Structure 1
Amino acid sequence: MTMRRNLMRATAAAALAFTLAPVVHAQDVIKIGEINSYKAQPAFLEPYKKGMELAVDEINASGGVLGKKVQLIIRDDNANPGDAVRAAEELVSREKVDVLTGSFLSHIGLALTDFAKQKKFFFLAGEPLTDKIVWQNGNRYTYRLRPSTYMQVSMMVPEAAALKKKRWALVYPNYEYGQSAVATFKQLLKAAQPDVEFVAEQAPPLGKVDSGSVVQALADAKPDAIFNVLFGADLSKFVREGNTRGLFQGREVVSLLTGEPEYMDPLKDEAPNGWIVTGYPWYGIQTPEHKAFQTAYQAKFNDYPRLGSIVGYSAIKSLAEGMKKAGSTDTEKLVAAFKGLQVPTPFGRITYRPEDNQSTMGGYVGRTKNEGGKGVMVDYRYVDGSKVQPSNDEVKKMRPAD
């Protein structure tokens, strides 16, 4: 009888140890749930993932955050807002992640922004550019790292206005990001140059550009200059067809994102000359913080960084800094800690503005050059994000009260 009781006690103790072990283990790890369009947008998101991995390695090698190791749990959203929300539900309820981050496409970023609001769960949007994430659809639980559409267009409008071109044609992917980029460009350029005319618009579906008809329609309008928002494979098709048909000859082109190596490198010897672009001239940035990042990245991956690498790396570093400041992974404490949070990044120190939860990360503006069969950026300058953000009063008019 005594032996049986001892056996039962031992069995019960073993069972208790088994049930407690995962809990104790989970308490030693901070879980970051990350959702992104890896299959749909690999050019940007494969380097983005590497940037995140480098940041996690550095954080864990230095002792982790709050005495705990950081762990990434990644899900693909299939470039579908519904799938993104389902992934978020699973990460929060089943994986018990402490925070959410990620998203690339703007409509998916908006879906996750709404999820964060409904579930009262912290979400750091890394890449999606639509202004609605921090303005019209903004909420206290959502912060955003990358310079917004408004900010990036604002960086380029002084250059566009200086061209003194009257007739502009517009081409953009027909979804939230493209629509908002063009709306902002029209608004800001008209304010800077009241006599400007917009003589043509082409808005093909994302990933389905009919480059021949788009280029022909733009050429038929006889514009003096073109504002382009196409990226990725759509950009490659547009540039190829435009080169073939002479669309860009004698015309200025202002083009969002085109200077990013993710989109410039695939163009190879078709890379355009003289376009005004936003981008990332990694090969020429000599600041100490960027050189340290580039050296570490190349040592780990035997590859050069892309802009995605910067964004992924800086997103994880931001979360770590926020958790340290909060002293916790509790959502409400993180929300408070991110207000005015300063984070060192490869582009220098950034601040998350209390007014709209948008970071002050900036970007590079310059011109493209086809150099030996490869596109690079020349005559570039870094524009501090804080210099191209609307005032507090303007933000209050656009953003709902938290």
Structure 2
Amino acid sequence: MTNFLRTSKAAVLLAGLALACGAFAQSTIKIGEINSYKAQPAFLEPYKQGWQMALDDINASGGVLGKKLEVVSRDDGGNPSDSVRVAEELVTRERVSLLFGSFLSNTGLALTDYAKQRKVFFLAAEPLTDKIVWEDGNRYTYRLRPSTYMLVSMLVNEAVKLKKKHWAIVYPNYEYGQSSAATFKRLMKAAQPDVEFVTEQAPPLGKIDAGAVTQALADAKPDAIFNALFATDLVKFVREGNTRGLFEGREVVSMLTGEPEYLNPLQAEVPANWIVTGYPWYSVTTPENKKFVDEYRKRYGDTPRMGSVVGYSAMMSIATALKKAGSTDTDKVIAAFSDLSLVTPMGSIRYRPQDHQSTMGAYVGRTGVKDGKPVMTSFAYVDGAAVQPSDAEVKKLRHAD
């Protein structure tokens, strides 16, 4: 009898726990997040802090649709096949309502295809490849950050003013780098027909032989250089370039280099006067940026990075869309993201219905040093809406919906 009572009590307890867990699941909206935290910590640690801050703010103000938001996050190791594997785990086992995240272009493309195959909504927060909204675009995928085309367009607008004829190009040899280089050549040719590209260097991502690359660029004797390297590859490239005098008397136009996660590590080695895209949080005086910076510093005791803005804006985009949809139903969320507008630390943005790309822009300026620290100077914000192809071009580029 004693054993029977113990068994009965245990069964009741387990049933109660199951009901409690079920009630908890029903009281939250689960959102799946996938990223390459271990592979790209410089950008993604601040990114996670950004979405966590937004998540806490949203839940503190009552959540969405009467429920708290709950993020279930997974690391994909920077591997496209692992991205798909953890996405399937989040959808089938964790029962998330939608997915967001991704950093590298190849993992972003893998998740874009997964979203299409499984008919689940995916917000590509960071990956820059144009294919996400063009060739591989689909009705289930939207993208937050400016694309390679948009960022390159911003830089080409400045590059043509230099009136340099002979250009060298250096980029990481994967989708983002290849796309950046191809777009730069195409847009420069259109704007300056006499331009010549004297050499291209495409080292593998994260494995640059900086000495060999720098020497090859110097041997080509370019008038100017277009660079798309970032993270540790950028640091090694700058160090070797400074040592060998590669940048002396040459203009350099550089993707992403003005973002604090890539600019700060250069420290005293930062090359002067490069034209860059970035986020000079320390000098942007707009109300939305000041509010974001103050809250971020108070919460984390640190300064924000571009990743912080992306993470925060991604979570705010999702919450805004869920409120507009009035539901977690995939079709309704998709409809809500179409022409969705919200205010971010970078100002107001809108998700374009024609290609699912947001109009988030970037700051374009020059590199410099202030109080011994690398900074962006002479910068201006470029609205993403001003550097996107026409609707007719988009219609040709976007193969399916």
Give the counterpart letter for 1:241 in structure 2: E
Instruction: Give a deviation string over 1:179-230, Cα, whole Å, max 9, x none.
Output: 0001000010110000000000000000000000000000000000000000
Are the aligned partners of 1:260 and 1:280 in contact in 2 as well (CA < 8 Å)? yes
Distance 1:166 1:53 in 2: 46
Change (3 A) 1:19 1:221: same
Unpaired runs of at least 5, structure 2: none
After TM superposition, the structure 1 = structure 2 runs for residues 314-353 of structure 1, keeping only pairs within 5 Å, are 314-353=313-352
Q: TM-score, normalised by structure 1?
A: 0.96
Are the aligned partners of 1:29 and 1:71 in contact in 2 as well (CA < 8 Å)? yes
After TM superposition, the structure 1 = structure 2 runs for residues 97-116 of structure 1, keeping only pairs within 5 Å, are 97-116=96-115
After TM superposition, the structure 1 = structure 2 runs for residues 223-302 of structure 1, keeping only pairs within 5 Å, are 223-302=222-301
Distance 2:317 2:10 in 1: 45
Are the aligned partners of 2:32 and 2:73 in contact in 1 as well (CA < 8 Å)? yes
Are the aligned partners of 2:136 and 2:400 in contact in 1 as well (CA < 8 Å)? no
**Partner residue, 1:120:** 119
Percentage of matched positions with identical amino acids = 68
**Partner residue, 1:142:** 141
Q: Secondary structure at the match of 1:378?
A: strand
**Partner residue, 1:78:** 77
Change (3 A) 1:11 1:72: closer
1:95 paired with 2:97, answer no
Distance 1:201 1:131 in 2: 21
**Partner residue, 1:43:** 42
Distance 2:63 2:160 in 1: 48
Give the counterpart letter for 2:72 in structure 1: I
| TM-fit CA distance, 1:92 | 0.7
| TM-fit CA distance, 1:11 | 8.2
Are the aligned partners of 1:215 and 1:247 in contact in 2 as well (CA < 8 Å)? yes
Change (3 A) 1:23 1:380: same
Give the counterpart letter for 1:109 in structure 2: G
**Partner residue, 1:385:** 384
Distance 1:191 1:8 in 2: 78
Q: Secondary structure at the match of 2:240?
A: helix
**Partner residue, 1:173:** 172
**Partner residue, 2:63:** 64
Distance 1:203 1:394 in 2: 28
Q: Secondary structure at the match of 1:258?
A: strand
Q: Secondary structure at the match of 1:284?
A: coil
| TM-fit CA distance, 1:118 | 0.3
Distance 1:252 1:126 in 2: 31
| TM-fit CA distance, 1:19 | 3.2
Distance 2:9 2:223 in 1: 84
Unpaired runs of at least 5, structure 1: 1-5
Distance 1:96 1:88 in 2: 11
Are the aligned partners of 2:361 and 2:384 in contact in 1 as well (CA < 8 Å)? yes
| TM-fit CA distance, 1:285 | 0.5
Q: Secondary structure at the match of 1:294?
A: helix
Change (3 A) 1:8 1:218: closer
Distance 1:399 1:63 in 2: 38
* Over 3 Å off, 4+ runs: 6-19
RMSD of aligned C-alpha atoms?
A: 1.7
Give the counterpart letter for 2:127 in structure 1: P
Give the counterpart letter for 1:288 in structure 2: P
**Partner residue, 1:3:** none
Give the counterpart letter for 1:23 in structure 2: G
